[in-house]
Structure 1
Amino acid sequence: MTPDILLTDICLPDPFGDAPLKSNCCLAIQGDSICQIGPAHEFDALEAKRVIKGRGQLALPGLINGHCHAAMTLFRGLADDLSLADWLNNYIFPAEARYVQPDMVYWCSKLAAAEMIFSGTTTVADGYFHEHHAAKAFAETGLRAVAAQGVIDFPAPGVPDPEKKINHAAEFLTQWRSHPLIRPAVFAHSPYTCSPGTLVAAKELARSEKTLFFIHTAETEQEISMIHDKQGDSPVRHLHNLGLLDAGTVCIHAVWLDEQDLDILAETGAGIVVCPQSSLKLASGKAPLQAMLARGIRVGIGTDGAASNNRLDLIREMDSCAKLNKLRNLDPVAVPANTLVNMATQGGAAVLGLHRKIGRLEEGKHADIMLVNLDTPHLQPVHGSDLPLYAIQGSDVQTVLINGILVMQDRKILSFDLEETVEQVRRLAEQVKKSL
């Protein structure tokens, strides 16, 4: 067998994290998967259709952004320094009602894809409206995605009649059922914007299609009061009482959890994605990450949308998450760097049900790979065996492959026309500026 791509002269981390980086290694790709990986001498007789010289760069599995609203790049910086309720109800919801349409979702999701690829993200779990156009954008850029159609109880972009929201989501699932890069899913916005009936119907749809069900859960202290006043319980217990929590449910944010909530999430097998930068900016609080991990809950990490972050750089997200937990617990080893790297790779893959396909560099896994330039002053010297989390920047990522396809090489996007995308988003942004 002749590999399609051969990466030469790369560094590899020790799989057990006990030894220094292994230099002078190679990695071969056949089709969409890794077919061989190891020291260079094992590849002496191997010829490939294409050879990419790593120049001593560190090869790592592509990062997995567990939660994003990609199209919200249009609203980056539009409503900064506000509480979540004010930000959402007085700025974001009105802006979405006015500006979210197919063209906007398509181009702004493409821009988000570029931003994520530039910082090493190869998979994103996205949830929004007009999600068909986000999925189309991701497919064209080569970004792997779990794309979830938004469900909410009031008129929404693309679904002006709320009575048709479940049918609309069902059509979306059917449309993207067999795409190699896109896995369609369902995104119920939250327990305070979706009635019990809507939540049950959305989850039943996800179960019937054997796909994931995402929901914002326990993000703010105000949400806790709102759900308790209406349902008489916490958001997590409300979802549990409705029978919605299982291994196919992913709870986003999960900041305000008590011990009972954590026990329920562990017992039901539901996954969690934390978004530390968004929580910091909106002063929502800090998710009890240590307690989640101690209970064996599957936890990933996400950026949220650019309107509440304001960047889609998962490397920055990991760094912030590690340090935030150190400070909150006054414990320098509260959540070590390798734990965050795991959450952004194989742990994130487990949350999304993709752990058999991605998240590690090993034979048989899909070739979702990033190459990191270690030859920079801020990354020298290299002492450890893992990603140098506290020193690395998103801009250190030089080359990205997704599903065996080279989508970025030497900081140049190859899979689509980035200049066209930027120009189209600027055109859309001018419309927003004129209305301010």
Structure 2
Amino acid sequence: MGVGVEKNNVKCELIISGGTVLTMTPESEPLPDGAVAVTSGEIVEVGGAADLLGKYRPARVLDAGGGIILPGFVNTHTHLAMTLLRGLADDLPLIEWLEKHIWPTERVLMNAEMVMLGTRLAAAESLQAGVTCVCDMYFHAERVIETVVAAGLRAVVPEAMIDFATPSSATPEDALAVQRDLLERYRSHPLVVPAVAPHSPYTVSAAHLAREAELAEEFGAPLIIHLAETRWEAEKIKSEKGVSPVAYLADLGILSERTVAAHCVHVTEEDLGLLAELEVGVATNPVSNLKLSSGVAPVPQMLELGIKVGFGTDGAASNNTLDLLRDAQLASLLYKGLTGDPTRMQARTIVEMLTIGGAKVLGLSDRIGTLEAGKRADVVCFALDHPRSVPVYDPYSHMAYAARSSDARHVVVDGRVVVQDRALIDTDVDSLLDDVREAATRARELLAT
């Protein structure tokens, strides 16, 4: 006869209990009155609350209050520091928005101090919305890393490259040097995944794209790039290269299973075949694409082909929030309306794309995206304490159609409680908002000169 575990004999640091657990593992069913046990930032067991509370002696119990316990959301594409540019220029097409407003403003405004402030604001907004992992794409990457780590936010962080001077790199060669340094120093960091990020096929030369791909290959790192976002881009690349943006990057050898391709709106059937064949991950940004009138990505077709797809918000300058749940819910309704098929983008699919789908896009599905033993403890508890929150017959349906990001009651990243009872634990929000308002006043004065 085997030796049983004595009641309350196993120590653990944290048990999250008091709710219905959605593990998001394949074919899993909701687990009513479930719990998640955590030690050293790792999930050690998921099961019934009575069983786990009887087996373990936790240092702390986090009560979900009868809500829904699920993996933290993964924002597969954003520009964190651009929260400081929220509302700066709206109701414009992408190229005019970039060339006449965003890039000129970034050159004079987004120094290292401002990038840190914008990133602090973005981290606070993201965590309070249930987002536990982001894929950034911006400048002053060292400062971004410092800021997200302090906030307790998991992140993929590159130094972005463009073929002209950026706020942090005078030349593409400077950006490459920063990327290599980050890849060497942060390759084993518990929260940060360093990456490379050529901006797009129309802002980075073929030679520099190739060097970026070589660097990503050398370190086994993600390569993040905007791809096929607008009709203008598709027509420009077609006229100059004779092929679509996707085919152009495929011909250059840029695309692989480590590529995170943001947008992929203007893609052909042949392009979709290439994305599937090369195992590219797609970060779809439905609200930003709609706001900039860039179009609608063929996400249902991508999913049918087995392409990895996760949701992204893009930057707050083109969204204008980092509310990933809102964006995912809108996407579900958008595709139902466009196709006339109410079975498209079903509730569980939406929740999968927010969690394990996003983790797969970023190459992090071995660490996050599901609640199971051995994974890192990135967990969010959504409250059911609002009149619109009851009754709940199907928790997947509730998350896809009724929940709001403001319902994120508790948020845990790598076993660390960063939001409790909707409040950020380690961030003085009032002070942060004052700092942002003061920076915005300085920005207006600077831009007026």
TM-score, normalization by structure 1 = 0.97
CA contact (8 A) 2:24 2:71 kept: no
- Rounded to whole Å, the distance in 2 between the matches of 1:369 and 1:213 is 26
Number of the residue aligned with 1:394? 405
- Rounded to whole Å, the distance in 2 between the matches of 1:166 and 1:424 is 32
Pairwise mapping of residues 43-122 of structure 1 onto structure 2 (< 5 A)?
43-122=53-132
CA contact (8 A) 2:64 2:410 kept: no
Pairwise mapping of residues 346-425 of structure 1 onto structure 2 (< 5 A)?
346-386=356-396, 388=398, 389-425=400-436
Q: Which moved more, 1:417-426 or 1:389-398?
A: 417-426
CA contact (8 A) 2:23 2:70 kept: no
Number of the residue aligned with 1:327? 337
Pairwise mapping of residues 116-265 of structure 1 onto structure 2 (< 5 A)?
116-265=126-275
Q: Which moved more, 1:213-222 or 1:325-334?
A: 325-334
- Rounded to whole Å, the distance in 2 between the matches of 1:387 and 1:30 is 31
- Rounded to whole Å, the distance in 2 between the matches of 1:351 and 1:387 is 23
Secondary structure of 2:158 counterpart: strand
CA contact (8 A) 1:313 1:394 kept: yes
Number of the residue aligned with 2:16? 7
- Rounded to whole Å, the distance in 1 between the matches of 2:107 and 2:27 is 52
How far has the Cα of 1:189 moved from its partner?
A: 0.4
Secondary structure of 1:123 counterpart: strand
Secondary structure of 2:318 counterpart: coil
- Rounded to whole Å, the distance in 1 between the matches of 2:382 and 2:171 is 47
Deviation readout 1:332-358 (Å, 9 max, x if unpaired)? 112112112111111111111110111
Q: Residues 179 and 384 from structure 1, CA distance in 2 versus in 1: closer, same or farther, beyond 3 angstroms?
A: same
How far has the Cα of 1:6 moved from its partner?
A: 1.6
Number of the residue aligned with 1:33? 42
Secondary structure of 1:250 counterpart: strand
How far has the Cα of 1:175 moved from its partner?
A: 3.2
Deviation readout 1:197-256 (Å, 9 max, x if unpaired)? 010011111111110001100000000111112211110010011011110111110000
Q: Which amino acid aligns with 2:415?
A: G
- Rounded to whole Å, the distance in 2 between the matches of 1:20 and 1:381 is 19
Q: Which runs of 4+ in 1 moved over 6 A?
A: 16-20
Number of the residue aligned with 1:317? 327
How far has the Cα of 1:403 moved from its partner?
A: 0.1
CA contact (8 A) 1:398 1:408 kept: yes
- Rounded to whole Å, the distance in 1 between the matches of 2:429 and 2:184 is 30
Secondary structure of 2:95 counterpart: helix
Q: Which amino acid aligns with 2:355?
A: T
Secondary structure of 1:345 counterpart: helix
Match of 2:302 among 288, 292, 295: 292
CA contact (8 A) 2:41 2:376 kept: yes
- Rounded to whole Å, the distance in 1 between the matches of 2:348 and 2:255 is 28
Secondary structure of 2:374 counterpart: coil
Secondary structure of 2:401 counterpart: coil
- Rounded to whole Å, the distance in 1 between the matches of 2:61 and 2:283 is 37
- Rounded to whole Å, the distance in 2 between the matches of 1:187 and 1:17 is 31
Q: Residues 433 and 165 from structure 1, CA distance in 2 versus in 1: closer, same or farther, beyond 3 angstroms?
A: same
Deviation readout 1:72-106 (Å, 9 max, x if unpaired)? 00100000101111101000010111111110111
How far has the Cα of 1:415 moved from its partner?
A: 2.8
Match of 1:24 among 11, 18, 33: 33
Give unpaired runs (5+ residues) of structure 2. Answer: 1-9
CA contact (8 A) 1:169 1:186 kept: yes
Number of the residue aligned with 2:290? 280
Q: Residues 327 and 2 from structure 1, CA distance in 2 versus in 1: closer, same or farther, beyond 3 angstroms?
A: same
Q: Which moved more, 1:412-421 or 1:27-36?
A: 412-421
- Rounded to whole Å, the distance in 2 between the matches of 1:293 and 1:160 is 40
Q: Which moved more, 1:108-117 or 1:35-44?
A: 35-44
Number of the residue aligned with 2:441? 430
Q: Which moved more, 1:278-287 or 1:125-134?
A: 125-134
- Rounded to whole Å, the distance in 2 between the matches of 1:409 and 1:14 is 21
Q: Which amino acid aligns with 2:171?
A: D
Number of the residue aligned with 2:5? none
The number of aligned residues is 436
Q: Residues 15 and 428 from structure 1, CA distance in 2 versus in 1: closer, same or farther, beyond 3 angstroms?
A: closer
CA contact (8 A) 2:159 2:175 kept: no
How far has the Cα of 1:15 moved from its partner?
A: 5.6
How far has the Cα of 1:158 moved from its partner?
A: 1.1
Give unpaired runs (5+ residues) of structure 1. Answer: none
How far has the Cα of 1:167 moved from its partner?
A: 1.7
Deviation readout 1:287-306 (Å, 9 max, x if unpaired)? 01111111111111100000
Q: Which amino acid aligns with 1:347?
A: G
- Rounded to whole Å, the distance in 2 between the matches of 1:239 and 1:95 is 29
Deviation readout 1:98-146 (Å, 9 max, x if unpaired)? 1111101111101101101111000000010111111111000000000
Q: Which amino acid aligns with 1:348?
A: G
